[in-house]
Chain A
Amino acid sequence: MKRKDALSQNIFSVTQGLESAITTEQYGRYNGLLQRLDPRVKLATFVVLTAAVSFTGNLAALAVMLVLVPLPGVLSGIKPGSLLKRIVLFVPVFTAVIAIPALFITQGDPLLSAGGHAVVTVQGARTAAFLVLRVTDSLSLGALLVLTTPWTKLLATFRWFRIPSLFVSILSMTYRYIFVLLHTVNNMFLARKSRTPGTLTAKENRKWLGHTLAATMVKSLHISEQVYSAMLSRGYRDDRLTAARFKLHYKDLLWLFFASAALALSVWTG
């Protein structure tokens, strides 16, 4: 793909966004280990374990979590490849690149020296490891929660945890209409691409992209009016009702026990 071809680049990134979201929904419907757990328990353990990753000052604990966290995901029917792609791609790689200078510039005891000068310090290596491991562990936990919990159940769980209905309503509607708008924009790009022989200059591209964005904004305003009429016609009240009924099983309690044990271990090891 040519670097300057903004149209193709945008079609590519929009389509990629769509695909990534669609794979997310698929895994939520499997009948795996994590999918069978109560979403409230999953959300609570996710928050607790993410906090544990953030609090611990023990590199070994973070390294153990790096190996252990993806396991239940694989047991829940998520392909290791797609889990790995979701976790490792971009953010940890980006973080690793960011962490490299810290190896050399952090003051401390020498780990590698050349010509009598410390090149890499112990403290530098440790801080880089902390950063990369924390980022990767947190991402793995987030990926597990989202991949194994259907969106509607997650929203119902937010309400159960007393997150105001205004935010939950907007969150659910935003997520829904992201796909509608992405489809619209994708079609606009394809239509434009099919009518554009040769390549546009950066200035022409900017102008056209600006117009596409503005047209999409106007469209989104129109859609919001239609949605409001639809809400009124269905007797909308400012209270989000959900059909989801939650019930705790022994599996959930077992999972809670494991999560609490992990938290206790991380606190105990410092």
Chain B
Amino acid sequence: MHIPDGYISPATAGIMYGAAAPFWFIAAKKVRNNLSGRTIPVIALFASFSFVLMMFNIPMPGGTTGHAVGGTLLAIVAGPWAAVIGISVVLAIQALFFGDGGVMAFGANSFNMAVILPLVGYNVYRAISGRSSATSARRLFAAAAGSWIAIVTAALLTGIELGIQPLLFHSADGTPLYCPYGPGIAIPSMAVGHMFIAGPAEAIVTSLVLAYLFKTGFVPAADQTQSGGAGRLHLLWAGLGLVALLTPIGLLASGTAWGEWEVTELKELGLGFVPDGINRLTGWWPAPLPDYGFPRMGAVVGYILSAIAGVGGVAVLLWGIGRTILLKGHRREA
């Protein structure tokens, strides 16, 4: 997810520095106010730890290996603002010494991995773990879910930052000057890799390390301030609601989602031959809400209702899976 120099334009790089700066400012202020000089070595050592963690190859189910960022883990254990500074410092060292991520792109990398990732991961953890007892299976599930959602969100942001480059920055003859791939390619390729490899790696590492820490009686920073933990679930719902309301933005985009072409569109794209199999499969699945629209309703309302229906469906499914896992955990403990 580290963007090297050359992939984004100086203008984007500047804006991303601007986006990360207020968070650095708040983090520095919070860290200075909350604790004494003790914070400096704590953040430094955790940042070193996070650097070491990124070098670990985690064996994944399926034979591949992935590496974790540790942003959510750091946010849960040391607090979200300490994580913002810690991961930023790690990114600076990686950019300077290992060429991993650019210096111009440092603002963008920090915003994605050192700001959004720990803040999202921490808040999802707090929201899901609620008032559950410390060391409960629900907390481990919350940590895994938080890590996965956080890394996928950061990857999506990276995909958007890369994807807008060819649309905004090209020469007179149409040559893209920076990342050559538009949002149709950049966003899915960033998201898929992180949903299936880096995301699970992050979730596994966070929950394994937390499980060990719980066993040793260690109380993470996220659990030291109990007030407001459960109340944060509404924030999560508010965020989802906002995303649902924003879905009609898709109407502004022209063309079809990458990889979701219909047969006629495949021909327009220059594919002279459409395999028989695709032809036969066209139309076999009568979608209940074709193209996310409700009949006889405005496109905008249709989009929003479809989003709400989708979020509701996924929430019910996840609630069911979570409940099954919890019941299994309780049975094992009994």
Contact = CB atoms under 8 A, between A and B. Distances in A.
Interface of A: 3-4, 6, 9-10, 13-14, 17, 20-21, 24, 46-47, 50-51, 53-55, 57, 86-87, 90-91, 95, 99, 101-102, 106-109, 117, 122-124, 126-128, 130-131, 133-135, 137-139, 142-143, 145-146, 154, 164, 166-167, 169-171, 173-175, 177-178, 180-182, 185, 202, 205-207, 209-211, 213-218, 220-221, 223-225, 227-228, 231-232, 236, 238
28 contacts: A6-B65, A9-B65, A10-B55, A54-B5, A101-B181, A102-B176, A102-B181, A108-B173, A127-B180, A130-B178, A138-B4, A143-B99, A146-B96, A173-B40, A173-B45, A181-B51, A206-B58, A209-B208, A210-B208, A210-B211, A211-B212, A213-B205, A215-B212, A221-B42, A224-B42, A227-B45, A231-B37, A231-B41
Given A130-B177, A174-B47, A202-B61, A166 B40 contact: yes
A133 B102 CA distance: 14
A257 to B, nearest CB: 23
A213 B57 CA distance: 12
Interface residues of B, number: 74
A202 B9 CA distance: 41
B156 to A, nearest CB: 18
B32 A50 contact: no
Interface in B4-41: 4-7, 9-10, 13, 24, 28, 31-32, 37-38, 40-41
Given A135-B4, A138-B104, A171-B89, A210 B204 contact: yes
B285 to A, nearest CB: 29
Q: Specify which of A13, A95, A130 lies most central, judged by the most chain B CB atoms within 10 Å of its CB.
A: A130
Contacts of B175: 106, 108, 122-123, 126-127, 130
Nearest to A102: B180
A232 B38 CA distance: 9
B154 interface: no
A182 to B, nearest CB: 6
A21 B49 contact: no
Contacts of A173: 40-41, 44-45, 48
A123 B173 contact: yes
A100 to B, nearest CB: 11
B221 to A, nearest CB: 11
A86 B99 contact: yes
Given A50-B5, A127-B180, A227-B41, A175 B93 contact: yes
Contacts of A139: 4-5, 99
Given A122-B175, A137-B6, A217-B49, 5 more contacts: A128-B180, A133-B6, A138-B5, A214-B213, A218-B213
B305 interface: no
Contacts of B61: 202
Q: Specify which of A130, A139, A178 lies most central, judged by the most chain B CB atoms within 10 Å of its CB.
A: A178
A210 B103 contact: no
A7 to B, nearest CB: 10
Contact of B63 (A4, A54, A166): A4
Given A123-B173, A223-B45, A211 B208 contact: yes
A167 B44 CA distance: 10
Interface in B55-111: 55-61, 63, 65, 77, 85-86, 88-90, 92-93, 95-100, 102-104
A77 B23 CA distance: 41
Contacts of A167: 24, 28, 85, 88-89
